[in-house]
Amino acid sequence: MPVRIHLDDMLHARRMTLTDLSERVGITLANLSILKTGKAKAIRFSTLAALCEALDCQPGDIMTFSSDREDSPECL
């Protein structure tokens, strides 16, 4: 998938657990886990804003786009 999620890196840099983030943002641990593992198909802007506020970061710190066609099985 060309969009990569870097939630683990942000949590590590902030010395925060997924449970801490879940409590701060008000998102279930299960939904954060789906996002963290890259299995989410979409994210609401309100969720992204809440994550950025809780982690004191920008959206680009949490996710990046890679146009590498090798990474995307849909492009084969």
In the block, tokens 């989410």 appear at 40
pLDDT tens digits, 17-70: 999 999 999 999 999 999 999 899 999 999 999 999 999 999 999 999 988 765
Does residue 47 contact residue 5 with C-beta atoms inside 8 Å? no
Which residue type sits at 28?
Answer: T
CATH number at residue 27: 1.10.260.40
The closest alpha carbon to 4, from 61, 70, 69, belongs to 61
Domain count within the chain: 1
Which residue type sits at 65?
Answer: F
pLDDT value of residue 48: 96
pLDDT value of residue 69: 61
The answer to pTM > 0.85 is: no
Tokens coding 43: 């994210």
Give the separation between CA 13 and CA 6, rounded to whole angstroms.
11
> In which domain, by residue range, is 62 found?
3-75
